[in-house]
Structure 1
């Protein structure tokens, strides 16, 4: 396996400085993934049996039922059973339920979870279970209903499914009709090149989307097919059986809502005072909880003694909302601020695997963890990869393009290459001709002023038009020259579209199906089976 590492600076300053371990950023977190002593302290804290936490036996029953339902592998079910043991710990990370598995970064997050679970199982000589939390409760359907693929015509194609109802509710509650799935699958089939792996890939895709599956169910089945044999345990945040386990924590979040919100505001002030941008705005009257009503997922806030939503669709007293959490917990839901606390309540989390944006908003939860007698787990950055295929690497070498050239100065480098091919030095010749013309014709035009100002003005216009015509000819000559290198330009554009599409990291744009179609699962298994340190670096993986 050929792999190179480099530091890709994050757009989020807080995440960037946390990953690098700067003192200012670390003051906002209780620990750091780069300090082994902090991992050991976290183990000791978990072994202390701190409250509150969910009953492990009930948790394993919920996990077993869900993983069985989505067809997860025996290796994952064995991991579920080991969670009964109070010695067992967990590495947890999650993502929204994207169409056909979502972006490549989803695969990399699962790889990171598995890598860390394996590493710390060995270091601690005790079971550390990898758990992938599917955010099926999220309602932003447009964020997860599509994938993007690079076509053979060098276009970024989008495949999407339309919202089945238009209601603002959890994606896990929106079955997709079989004909809608079939249309999306046909588009995927058409977009993928014919390879030895294609038939098997499409067969698996049809299997995971069968039966009017929701995006969440299809996503879970897909993740089970890819990662189940490596023991990845799956759970949907919106699973009604899981909600019953969460009722007690929902009760505390409601009972202590004012103090909870104040703790979040406290952390927000600390983050802002440290000079960092706020990733998620905290409001003193925000409940930081959702409820389901009238087919919608509604974000709650406090108005006096009541909990209500923005449009005043529902109103609850604290007692009524608390009763709702215990009698109908499936009608409650977390937001980004309460989800970390709920994760901590449910699982013995040694570390949580997060992307850059997630790291930034987790900093806002530090005081909330403390308020509830909890401790924020180790925050570990997700592994990052850019996949570079053999043909792309050959083209980069052919035109002497480094990865930094592609990421930082592609247009300049491309133009410099084209300029090198200009053996006639047309640009220089045209500039000399224009300079010579202006230097000889200009004084003549100036002298016309003594005859008549109108003639001088006509001369200026004439001069400008002649220069404009020279520029026009220069442009046409450049176009004709570049036509000779159309193939090279197309090859270079494919390099850019492969590595840095839409001026974003590859992993944040493309879906994994195209790579699984071209190379099968071998490359992904290599990432899983090779020990790769979780160190915040970006890795280039040459396929």
Structure 2
């Protein structure tokens, strides 16, 4: 690792997340154990004693069937086999089925999980730890996943979609492939990328299968196990919790109470619960269930069920019940022998609303582990930073703050009016002594005049700063241009940039680079310098 920043230094994360990472007492009631290597011993005991071991056989059976049409690495197959053993546990992350993996942080999640399992095996050699990627295949927010960013372009899938995204057919993705193909340079690494996209999306019938192929190609050699949870046998393991949610609305009651507790600690709730936190899912349909007058209605349809009818539907067709964002974590933890969930700051914030819900359902609450985060840049970028006398931390500021900082740094004029302001305050001290010998109206007049003159100096300081920004615009704009390059769309690089840009620069070696540099229990923001693969002719973001 070249460098790292505290998350506070980035100025981009919520107080709830920062206080959690710093283990502040104000957050301690919202989780069970903080994720460090020592705490996994107790977590293993809890999960071992409370997990339904019958789920292991179902899980292994479904995974083997899921992988039967894919080339499975020895490492991944070994992990699947180990899941049948009572001394095997998972470390899980998950994500939406973003087109071509979406933003970089999806890779960061997976690598954090892989490294965590590796370190746990060293710490606890008598147990097995399986890195698992949970496909959010039942999501229906197609607009969030139907695109990815490549350099300055957005590659989109123009499709009208409804229902669970994992079930979407991929037969109209050829035009998306052709658009992507046209943007790529003529290099060997670009050919590899094109083939990866083609094999994933043009050779598989739906988005779930395409995603399994893609992540398996990229991470199968490291033993990653990818799970498609939208399966009747898996949902059958969750029937008891589905019934309880329908009849007792536990999630709504518990999350509402926790949200009030969060607010009392001056935190914001991440997700607002509904009375029933389940969707009804069928062909091209995924709509929320609504309880009204002792009947269950499927929103935006004519479907309705009595209490007995809905319970019969759960018993015979559990696959038709789909958890929302607040119940999906429960489904995951009921199904898996899981110890910790690896996610981003926003994800962990909504998990922090759920501990009491898990207690009510009598399911162990997992440890919540922040994924690794990073800003990647090239040697060439490092040279530019040095020339501009900039530190990477400087670039996390707003653009206007960065401009002002650079103006003050390079201007030959002293823009800081602090000495003048202090001198003015000293002059008014004498006037205050005089004013105290007269009446209150004169004292108020002196105070008003002091404020007016300080305001005048502040305005002059700002005007001088603005004038110097204009005069030094060329030099200032170089700093801003560099910030724009490393923070596309004024956002963290990892939330915008797609892995394809890195692949063009380094090939599969960039995964190894991240694997070597990420430390899963460090909980800081990494700043990493990349070297461009000399075999690549591409000029990507890491070489500009």
Q: TM-score range by the shorter chain?
A: 0.7 to 0.9
Q: Please, which of 254, 258, 270 is the counterpart of residue 263 of structure 1?
A: 254
Post-superposition offset of 1:402:
1.5
Quote the residue 1:300 is aligned against.
Answer: 289
Quote the residue 1:458 is aligned against.
Answer: none
1:32 aligns with 2:29: no
Post-superposition offset of 1:325:
2.1
Which segment drifts farther, 260-269 or 532-541? Answer: 260-269
Instruction: Please state whether the residue corresponding to 1:495 is helix, strand or coil.
Output: helix
Post-superposition offset of 1:495:
2.0
Post-superposition offset of 1:109:
0.4
Change (3 A) 1:392 1:72: farther
Quote the residue 2:443 is aligned against.
Answer: none
| 1:212-291 paired onto structure 2 within 5 Å | 213-254=205-246, 256-283=247-274, 286-291=275-280
Change (3 A) 1:10 1:326: farther
Post-superposition offset of 1:418:
7.3
Post-superposition offset of 1:526:
2.3
Change (3 A) 1:251 1:194: same
| 1:291-327: CA deviation from partner (whole Å, max 9, x where unpaired) | 1246320111321312223446322223322222221
Q: Aligned equivalents of 1:112 and 1:478: distance in 2?
A: 42
User: Are the equivalent residues in 1 in contact too, given 2:407–2:469 (CA < 8 A)?
Assistant: no
Task: Name the TM-score, length of structure 1 as normaliser.
Answer: 0.81
Quote the residue 1:516 is aligned against.
Answer: 503
Q: Structure 1: where are the runs of 5+ without partners?
A: 151-155, 428-470
Q: Aligned equivalents of 2:39 and 2:405: distance in 1?
A: 50
Change (3 A) 1:416 1:288: closer
Quote the residue 2:169 is aligned against.
Answer: 175
Q: Please, which of 486, 496, 503 is the counterpart of residue 499 of structure 1?
A: 486
Q: Please, which of 295, 302, 322 is the counterpart of residue 313 of structure 1?
A: 302
Quote the residue 1:161 is aligned against.
Answer: 157
| 1:176-215 paired onto structure 2 within 5 Å | 176-177=170-171, 180-211=172-203, 213-215=205-207
User: Are the equivalent residues in 2 in contact too, given 1:288–1:299 (CA < 8 A)?
Assistant: yes
Post-superposition offset of 1:72:
3.9
1:19 aligns with 2:21: yes
Task: Name the TM-score, length of structure 2 as normaliser.
Answer: 0.81
Change (3 A) 1:127 1:9: farther
Post-superposition offset of 1:263:
2.4
Change (3 A) 1:203 1:258: closer
Q: Aligned equivalents of 2:34 and 2:254: distance in 1?
A: 21
Change (3 A) 1:101 1:166: closer
Post-superposition offset of 1:494:
4.4
Q: Please, which of 366, 371, 385 is the counterpart of residue 396 of structure 1?
A: 385
Change (3 A) 1:81 1:92: same
Instruction: Please state whether the residue corresponding to 1:66 is helix, strand or coil.
Output: helix
Larger radius of gyration: 1
Instruction: Please state whether the residue corresponding to 2:325 is helix, strand or coil.
Output: coil
User: Are the equivalent residues in 1 in contact too, given 2:113–2:131 (CA < 8 A)?
Assistant: yes
| 1:403-440: CA deviation from partner (whole Å, max 9, x where unpaired) | 122221544544775798899x9x9xxxxxxxxxxxxx
The number of residues matched between the two structures is 477
| 1:365-418: CA deviation from partner (whole Å, max 9, x where unpaired) | 111111111121111111111111222222212222221222215445447757
Quote the residue 1:55 is aligned against.
Answer: 55
Change (3 A) 1:242 1:263: same
Change (3 A) 1:108 1:531: closer
Post-superposition offset of 1:124:
1.0
Q: Aligned equivalents of 2:66 and 2:409: distance in 1?
A: 61
Quote the residue 1:114 is aligned against.
Answer: 114
Change (3 A) 1:494 1:228: farther
Instruction: Please state whether the residue corresponding to 1:250 is helix, strand or coil.
Output: helix
| 1:12-161 paired onto structure 2 within 5 Å | 12-34=14-36, 36-48=37-49, 50=50, 52=52, 54-125=54-125, 126-150=127-151, 156-161=152-157
Q: Aligned equivalents of 1:417 and 1:37: distance in 2?
A: 45
Instruction: Please state whether the residue corresponding to 1:370 is helix, strand or coil.
Output: helix
The RMSD of aligned alpha carbons is: 2.8
